[in-house]
Structure 1
């Protein structure tokens, strides 16, 4: 059957053009990785065909031996990488080759520095795959036919802005990529060179990588030819699944190279765990922690990085049930022995065996992270910098392992006043003052705002440590993680502080007298503010600031309300569901003393509103009427200048 010819010229996505330029110039010193990337793609295509063929054997088209073939032509100056995997349709070629469908693309380009070494790391972190071909080629021709379909498509480009798509005929399924090498890249037109690259980077992928090997003619003692010269197909790599081998037979370099294959990463992993679980539910896992966060870490639709195999047969790389979302950065493979080979994704979702495998895998990963935190603080600090915000989702998502995850958490605190998150909850508990039974924290939208929160003043005075939480996820974290080691987590900006136990009798007596002295002032302030506040009180938490806002113990924090509002939730900054904050004033502050003695009602109201608006600003909030605040403040300042 002939196919109808159809050819069109299309433009690359802008990001692709930019990436190609950067990659060609930044990765030139590590150009041999192009072969690893193309072989990895071929391996993935073979895995996908094997899975699809479980339910449709006809997709093999009479050719069930999956392999990747590598050829070179010195005269034509070409290298050809071909596979008989799943192949691609025309639409899939456009989706995967003409665009970069990754979240984080914008952030990727914003982080580029112009330094080739640093940008090379970023490009590797972002992942380039097929595009790495242009490191050594000035033209690339890709011909592919999807298994089970008649129509094939040819993609061709010089990598400079445009590519062509043409409908062609291709007898076999799969993908063939021809690299037309640039001047000066002849080193790759050598069988020994190509074999050494395959052995170095792709030795332990699970399907054969084959090349032609020339066998010279055989002759007898008189020199007569007894067998003609011939060419045989030779398997270049080990073609055995790395995870099935004994750990003592695998080198560190082999572990690292396999990670780069399965993780599509350029850098070595931070750490890994390789384990075989025996019993009624047997499985092997090889799981890696990357050294850098991938750019799609916050993409809710991104596929998970753990591949599920059943007796070395690939099943899926989108098995969300294999790893919880807070461990979505984990890369690697899980190979089960006892699952039925024809298992469907729907059955996977309901399988008790899969649930048990997931629980076991999570246990192994948490154990790996615990060991790292205990034995290598520097490496764990690197891990936390890259993945800390994701781990903070753990107590919300994984109630069963909440305590284990809580031990892995790290925060900033007033103990060091450093933005570096290196304080564990166990560290905090070990430093608690005698009689202290709560773990205190403050949430804000930045470290600076948290560090300078007026709510911390009394804690600094009394020498009580407070955790400084400034990541957005922290609000969800503390809503789920309410205690640790029997100690309740308490926001310093919500409810009563219960610090009386740390007050002297003299301080308690003084507070009672001040409260009586300010009764009428508090009443007048509340009348001015009306329904903006729930109450007005004398503050026992302020030492330097004139006022602060406090929410109820069970109300949403002002920081959380702001986050929800920015996310498009309809609610008032000053409360949701009728809840309003309490304004606390500091009687030792000059501005509060001034309002106490103020006789002019209008001036009293202006100062009251200034105090209230300042309290909002100190919480990182936004004023409903900034111009009115500035007008009142200017009027007050002008009065002081007279």
Structure 2
């Protein structure tokens, strides 16, 4: 029944794009629309249950909180009804016609960046409703808000670019979605087909699901059960439903605690880090419950930001049931929850690293960047996190990693620092001049390949009382080695270094003989404590026009043939020697990744080649 004229609207541009993708190319398994609509219905019921706790008057308040699915194979329809919060006219427009809450813009962006490989993540962007149009000739949504003074409405669309809304009398509270199926999707109107889908995807919904009047699921809060009684398959299915995932979880942690808070938690680590795949920044995905009542599906405060990759559920009896989902006012309770869960998860990772080293290595390849973020920024858990960090080093095989604790166990009695080098890859670090002096003294050096590593090292600063030190910094002091035969005399070295400083001028802060070079003629060392070469490259990339001052010390190898030849040439052929000196500096800057413009170097090389 309707007492108003239907009003026609156009979908927002992003929604049109989304519908086009969903209808024509997104899924090979169209049955997923059932899971998405049931999941949305469950969310609406959770919101209603919370609303009943905070509002005095709720429309149609005697309704059972359940989901009813009805199929009609003659009419080729499937209907999914919930008695949840429902929608007003404004909410219909906002939620189903625009991008205000649907997340479709983020979904389209992520899909564009990563292609179809992860297109099954539609539910994570809150755009699951539109999956109905994969199978629908038309979709009608009959709804009545929980607000008593709001009239009922019917929203309808065939997915072609427009939708209509009109008032509809006699609606129960909640939403009833009626899907008229396309001819080639008519089997979704079969009772047995939908039963199979519901049992596969919706077994853990916390509300009764009835199919044609018959109860399908049993309410199971898996996190409240004894972990010894839960099968691996049950965990996997719960993870898939809760995380809107298709893969199996990489790791899981199921635990309970009584003090300082009563907690039941079930946490999962996904197979892949979607941030690494190019998707947008992950949102918190560990839902917060109190005695099976959803408080917040995506709370920001129960876990630190660096644990945003975790999925799952945390249930605490100690939270007040009427805690506000928007404000989460009881910060002290949430802080306690945060500490308990984080410490327990870090302890779990320590056990994994110790008892299942290969599995931990695989986990670290995907999610190590989050642990590094925590080590740099989370002072509370820094000590635990630093123990979990892993790096390749000059003493490990390619692809094998070591912990800081293992590095310290191999240190000699006289070594006071943990050395590291930042570079794009192992080959680059090993072929550069910075490792030579450390190798000659059998000093281990950690290899850092990720952009974040230097920031982490600068923030962590020390481990087990040993300072973390960049091996390419000018302040590093290495023990003396026996001087091999054939080096320039000390007075000749003094003469040459002074000449080099005069010749190179302001391009170098200092020139001196090196105690770290073995096979290379020169090395450029960072003379700026506050701006490492790697950090300077990042700053330069961020602001290409900015003048980032460069301060390096040049060290020479008095035993190297090039340096000895330069000493002979600097008086005999001063012009040629000047070209060689400048070229040696540029070579050193290239090794350090600090040569910004090679134009002058190419011209100089051509001059040098003329004199060969």
**Normalised-by-shorter TM-score class:** 0.7 to 0.9
Find the partner of 2:120 among 107, 124, 133.
124
Please, which moves more after superposition, 469-478 or 625-634? Answer: 625-634
Determine whether 1:436 maps to 2:418: no
- Closer/same/farther in 2, CA of residues 633 and 347 from structure 1, 3 Å limit: same
Once the 2 structures are TM-superposed, how far is the Cα of residue 360 of structure 1 from its aligned partner? 0.6
| Bigger mean CA offset, 297-306 vs 236-245 | 297-306
- How far the C-alpha of 1:574 sits from its partner, in A, is 3.8
> Paired residue for 2:508?
533
Partners of 1:187 and 1:487 lie apart in 2 by 67
8 Å Cα contact 1:539/1:586 also seen in 2: yes
Report if the CA contact (8 A) 2:512-2:555 is conserved.
yes
Match of 1:154 in 2: 155
Partner of 1:200: 200
After superposition, the Cα gap between the structure-2 partners of 1:570 and 1:409, relative to the gap in structure 1 and judged at 3 Å, is farther
**Cα distance in 2, alignment partners of residues 427 and 132 from structure 1:** 52
CA 590–510 in structure 1, closer or farther in 2 if over 3 Å, else same:
closer
Partner of 1:424: 403
Q: Secondary structure at the match of 2:212?
A: strand
**Alignment partner of 2:288 out of 284, 300, 308:** 308
CA contact (8 A) 1:297 1:328 kept: no
The structure-2 alpha-carbon separation of the partners of 1:425 and 1:5, relative to structure 1 and needing over 3 Å to count, comes to same
Could you say which residue in structure 2 is the equivalent of 1:42?
41
Equivalent residue for 2:113? 107
Whether 1:485 and 2:481 are equivalent positions in the alignment is: no
Residue 290 of structure 1 pairs with residue 267 of structure 2: no
Counterparts of 1:59 and 1:524, CA distance in 2: 88
User: Residue 453 of structure 2 aligns with which residue?
Assistant: 474
Q: Which of 584, 603, 614 is the aligned partner of 2:555?
A: 584
Shift, 1:571, TM fit: 5.9
CA distance in 1, matches of 2:395, 2:23: 47
Query: CA-to-partner distance for each residue in 1:331-365, whole Å, 9 max, x for gaps?
Result: 11111212222223576365222111111100121
CA contact (8 A) 1:104 1:295 kept: no
Of residues 131-140 and 174-183 in structure 1, the stretch that sits farther from structure 2 once superposed is 131-140
Distance 1:598 1:559, change over 3 A: same
* Structure 2: gaps of 5 or more residues: none
Tell me the secondary structure at the aligned position of residue 85 of structure 1. Answer: coil
Deviation at 1:453, TM superposition (A): 3.0
Partner of 2:67: 68
What SS is found at the alignment partner of 2:248? coil
**What is the aligned-residue RMSD (CA, Å)?**
3.3
- State the Cα distance separating 1:489 from its structure 2 match: 1.7
- How do 1:500-579 and structure 2 match up within 5 A? 500=479, 503-506=480-483, 516-552=491-527, 554-568=529-543, 572-575=547-550
Q: 1:57 to 1:529 in 2, by over 3 A?
A: farther
Secondary structure of 2:339's match?
helix
Match of 2:210 in 1: 210
Q: Distance in 2 between matches of 1:581 and 1:144?
A: 71
Q: Is the 8 A contact 2:72 2:78 kept in 1?
A: yes
Could you tell me how far apart the structure 2 residues matched to 1:18 and 1:559 are?
Answer: 42
- Counterpart contact for 2:273–2:309, Cα < 8 Å: yes
Q: Is 2:170 the counterpart of 1:165?
A: no
8 Å contact kept, 1:16–1:99: no
Cα distance in 2 for residues equivalent to 1:364 and 1:70 = 40
Aligned counterparts of 2:53 and 2:279: Cα–Cα separation in 1: 30
What aligned pairs does 1:223-238 form with structure 2 within 5 A after superposition? 234-238=214-218
User: Which residue of structure 1 lines up, in the alignment, with residue 6 of structure 2?
Assistant: 5
Q: Show the 5 A alignment for 1:618-637.
A: 618-623=591-596, 625-637=597-609
Alpha-carbon distance between aligned partners in 1 of 2:489 and 2:5, rounded to the nearest angstrom: 91
The aligned counterpart of 1:324 is 304
Secondary structure (helix, strand or coil) at the match of 1:348 reads: coil
Other structure's SS at 2:328 match? helix
Question: Per the alignment, do residues 9 and 598 of structure 1 end up closer, same or farther by CA in structure 2, a change over 3 Å counting?
Answer: same
Cα distance in 2, alignment partners of residues 582 and 489 from structure 1: 21
Q: 1:381 offset after TM fit, Å?
A: 2.5
Q: Which moved more, 1:240-249 or 1:292-301?
A: 292-301
Distance 1:542 1:3 in 2: 87
Secondary structure in structure 1 of the residue aligned to 2:68: strand
Q: How many residues align?
A: 593
- Report if aligned partners of 1:37, 1:132 keep a CA contact under 8 Å in 2: no
The answer to whether the 8 A contact 1:125-1:267 is kept is: no
The question of 1:606 aligning with 2:579 is answered: yes
Counterpart contact for 1:287–1:331, Cα < 8 Å: yes
| Separation (CA, whole Å) in 2 of partners of 1:450 and 1:53 | 62
Distance 1:81 1:611, change over 3 A: farther
TM-score under structure 1 length normalisation: 0.83
Is the Cα contact below 8 Å between 1:370 and 1:408 reproduced in 2?
yes
User: Normalising to structure 2: TM-score of the pair?
Assistant: 0.86
Query: Alpha-carbon deviations, 1:77-105, whole Å to 9, x = none?
Result: 22222323344431222225683414644
1:400 and 2:352 equivalent? no
Are the counterparts in 2 of residues 297 and 329 from structure 1 also a CA contact under 8 Å? no
Gap regions ≥5 residues in structure 1: 113-118, 214-233
- Answer yes or no: is the 8 Å Cα contact 1:444–1:620 preserved in 2: no
**Structure 1 residues 447, 535: closer, same or farther in 2, change over 3 A?**
same
CA distance in 2, matches of 1:99, 1:396: 33
Distance of 2:580 and 2:140 partners within structure 1: 73
> Are 1:253 and 2:233 matched, yes or no?
yes
Report if aligned partners of 1:3, 1:167 keep a CA contact under 8 Å in 2.
no
Match of 2:139 in 1: 141
CA distance in 2, matches of 1:391, 1:155: 47
